[in-house]
């Protein structure tokens, strides 16, 4: 099953705390995962940023919102328990606890004042963003901006002259730590003259090994014959490593082929190329930076 949104987790979380005992968040996460029927894969699913486990993150946010409504209280580092108000709420046998439900408590309303609500008016929402935690909403917005930028980059790369594309590839590889100096890499690219090889670049700054390159602005899907020809060119150079870069994409047959051969060939399609350009600052400029912080519990350890 899909990992439940954080609002769906609120009621099961409060029910589990209904015994009045103090529980660690790690214990709560483990028990709720089993009670809600999550598979081992569901329990390991990560947020898009891969910075946290999605279910763990949502349980923590559910607990955070319940605390803001004073249905749950923190008793120590990573430990929570139900409050008297929380017991009273369970006594009413609610069918669901969500943000709309929590708005009946003045403490929760005060918490929400001055914040931009991402939930729909009924507090449940119909879109993924409406049911997402604030952290997930921020990540979704970032990924949407990144996808749009990547598509714009790829469209522009497809229109640039071949020589500029070769320069772009070198700039990217050097920024990733390949090629030694930019001057060394620039001399190598496009100079080999060997059929099927567009350039040679150092694998590391010391030049302990070299990587052979082929970079083409293909429009159609690149199939196995092109990749196989590139592998043959490597054989002619007694080379063991190569990178094949395209502005389009590779067929599944091409991917299967490189996974079976002895030589190490990396297939870099247009989408991945654009993402690497963003990661390494090639052809892009930083507009603004948002620093997301969380409370440092170590600072309050001696409180």
Q: Is the pLDDT of residue 249 over 90?
A: yes
Q: Is the pLDDT of residue 14 over 90?
A: yes
Scan for tokens 């995962």, then name that residue: 33
Under the banding of pLDDT at 50, 70 and 90, the label for residue 84 is: very high
272 plus 180 within the same structural domain: yes
Is-contact 71 85, C-beta < 8 A? yes
Is residue 183 in some structural domain? yes
- Cα 26 to chain centroid distance, Å, stands at 23
86 plus 165 within the same structural domain: no
Q: What is the pLDDT of residues 255-268, one digit of tens each?
A: 999 999 988 999 99
Please give the pLDDT value at position 280: 94
Is residue 154 in some structural domain? no
Structural domain total, the chain: 2
The two structure tokens encoding residue 114: 């001055």
> What residues make up the domain containing 86?
6-132
CATH number, domain with residue 59: 1.10.10
Task: Taking residues 250-259, report their average pLDDT.
Answer: 95
Q: What is the pLDDT of residues 279-302, one digit of tens each?
A: 999 999 988 887 777 777 666 665
251 plus 190 within the same structural domain: yes
Going by their DSSP bridges, the two strands 210-216 and 241-246 should be labelled as: parallel
Closest CA to 129 of 33, 14, 48: 48
Has this prediction a pTM greater than 0.95? Answer: no
């Amino acid at each position: 099953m899909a990992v439940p949104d954080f609002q769906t987790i609120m009621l099961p979380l409060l029910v589990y705390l209904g015994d009045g005992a103090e529980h660690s968040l790690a214990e709560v996460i483990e028990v709720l995962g089993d009670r809600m029927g999550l598979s081992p894969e569901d329990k390991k699913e990560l947020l898009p940023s891969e910075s946290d486990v999605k279910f763990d993150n949502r349980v923590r946010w559910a607990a955070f919102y319940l605390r803001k409504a004073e249905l749950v209280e923190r008793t120590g580092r990573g430990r929570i328990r139900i409050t008297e108000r929380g017991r009273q709420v369970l006594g009413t046998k609610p069918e669901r606890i969500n943000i709309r439900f929590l708005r009946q408590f003045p403490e929760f309303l005060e918490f929400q004042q001055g914040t931009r609500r991402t939930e729909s008016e009924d507090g449940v929402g119909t879109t993924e963003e409406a049911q997402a935690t604030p952290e997930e909403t921020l990540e979704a917005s970032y990924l949407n901006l990144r996808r749009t930028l990547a598509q714009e980059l790829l469209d522009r790369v497809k229109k640039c002259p071949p020589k500029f594309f070769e320069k772009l590839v070198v700039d990217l590889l050097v920024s990733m730590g390949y090629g030694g100096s930019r001057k060394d890499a620039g001399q190598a690219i496009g100079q080999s003259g060997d059929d099927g090889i567009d350039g040679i670049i150092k694998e590391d700054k010391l030049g302990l090994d070299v990587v052979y390159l082929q970079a083409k602005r293909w429009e159609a899907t690149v199939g196995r014959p092109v990749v196989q020809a590139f592998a043959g060119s490597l054989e002619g150079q007694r080379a063991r490593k190569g990178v094949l870069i395209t502005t389009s994409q590779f067929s599944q047959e091409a991917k299967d082929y490189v996974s079976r051969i002895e030589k190490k060939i990396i297939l870099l399609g247009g989408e991945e190329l654009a993402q690497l350009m963003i990661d390494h600052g090639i052809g892009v400029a930083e507009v603004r930076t948002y620093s997301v912080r969380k409370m440092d519990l170590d600072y309050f350890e001696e409180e």
